[in-house]
Every structure is written in C-alpha cells, then in structure tokens.
Amino acid sequence: MALPYLATFASQAIPAILGGIAGQSEADAKNAAQRRQDKQNMLNWRYGKKSTKLDYRHAKEQWRMNIRNDETVAAWRDQTNLQDWNYNLKIQDYEYASQMRQYNKSNQIADQQLTFNAMAQKVANEAEYRKLEDSTKEIAFQNQDLIIKAVQSEGAAAVKGQQGRSAEKAGQAELASLGRNQAILAESLLSARADTQAAIRKIATDKFGADLAANASRMLKPERLPTPPKPLRTPRTEFLKPRKPTKYDFGPKPIKGATVSSFGSWMDAAGDIASAAIGGIGKDWLKST
C-alpha cells in the first residue's frame, strides 16, 4: 500500500524540488544583476556629481579670466586714448606756435615795408625839392641875365647919345621886354612849384597805397584752439558669477533596487510537495474507505 503512495509522492515532489532549484538560480541571477546595476548607478551619480563640481570650478576660473581680460583691454584702451589726447595737445601747440611764427614774421615784413615806404617818400620828396630848388636857381639866374641885359642896353643907348623921345621909346621897349621876360620866368617858377606840390602829393598817395598793402599783408593774430576734452575712462564689462551647484544639480541619489528573494521559490516548492503528499494520501484514503 505504501509503494503507490511513495510513487505518487515522488512523481509530484521531484518536479517541485527541481522547480525550486531553478527558481533559486533565477533569483540569484536577478539579484546579481541588480547589484551590478545598483553599483553602476551609484558610480554614474558620483561621476556626474564630480563632473558638475569640475564644470563649476572651470566656469568660475573662466569668469575670473574674463574679468582679468576685460580689465586688461580696458586699461589698454584708457592708456591709448590718453596717449592720443596728449599727442593731439602737442600737435595743437605746435600748430599754434607755427601760426604765431608766421604772424610775427608777417608783422616784421609789414613793419619793414612801412619803414621802406617812409624812406622812399623822403627820398622822393627830397628829389622833388632839389628839382624845384634847381629850377628856382635857374630862373633867378635868367632873371639876373635879363636885368643885366636891360641895364646894358640902357647904358648902350646913353653912350650913343640918344635923347628925347627916341631915348624914351628905347627905354620903354627895354622895360617892356624885361617885364615880359620876368613874367615868363615868374610863370615858370610858379609852374615848377605847382609841379613840385603835385609830385609831393603823388608821392604821399603812393606811400599811402603801399602802406595799405603792407598792412593788408599782416596775418590775423592766431587764437589758441580750445583744449579737447580729456578722454573718458573705458567702462568695464560686468560678468555674471557662475552659480555654485547645489544638491538639486546632482540629482537624487540612486536607490538600490529590490532584490528577488529565493525564499518564495522554496515556499512554492514546499507547497507543491505538501499538496502532492496530501493529495496522494487523500486519494488512497478515500479509496480505502
């Protein structure tokens, strides 16, 4: 009677035991895979956290470098602008000094021209007065010659013994000739004086024109240009400081996955064995009763 029960029990228990062993192997494999996955997740999280910190350090160093580079460029621009400003001031001073030299030179030349004009006027006036003096002397000599000739003629008439109306007519004729010739000489003298006065006025007019030209050649006194404004300081660029990473940047820490327990497989196998045993006993008991 026991052999059938044992055969039945064995036929049902052995597959259950083999199923439990297979379930245990599968659970162990899943657990090993999960542990490896958990380890990999933790490594990825740690590396990500470290990479975020390194990126922050690099961004912070880049921020400092940008500030230094901007300050270097701005300082170079300030120095260049100041150098250009000083150079422009020197050019302005040089141009002003050059204009002043030209202005002084033009005044010097104009003054020399005015002096020359005065000297030329004086020389021309003296020449005209000498000419008038020479003409006056010449007319005086001619007048003396006329008087001498008249006296000589009168004396000659007396020597010839002219008397009465003939002597009177001869004297009147001589006096008339003398008066006419003296009138001509007087007119010549007046004309010479008038010519001299006209020449003097012409010389004065020419001098006035030459003086105007000399004064017109004077340059206007240069004025110094206003000083250019001093260059402004180059504005500095503002750079946003990198934000320090927080726990929210690293993400949640990986949670280990739930492992598969082999206890359930063995419980299932034990349940199958018990069911098989109970089932076999119950059938035989029912048959026996």
Domain boundaries, the chain: 17-224+264-288
The amino acid at 282: G
Confidence category of residue 175, pLDDT binned at 50, 70, 90? low
- Say how far apart CA 76 and CA 82 lie, in whole Å: 10
* Average per-residue pLDDT for the chain: 78
| Residue 40 buriedness (CB in 10 A; 0-12 / 13-18 / 19+) | exposed
Residue (of 177, 122, 174, 126) closest to 153 by Cα position: 174
CA angle at 235 for the pair 229 and 239, rounded to the nearest 5°: 180
The pTM score is 0.54
134-145 average pLDDT score: 76
Cα angle, residue 245 at apex, residues 256 and 49 outer, rounded to 5°: 35
User: Quick one: angle between helices 164-216 and 2-160, nearest 10?
Assistant: 170
Where b means 16+ CB within 10 Å and e means fewer, 110-145 reads: beebeeebeeebeebbeebeeebeebeeebeebbee
pLDDT tens sequence across 5-28: 555 555 655 666 666 677 678 888
Give the model's pLDDT for residue 122: 93
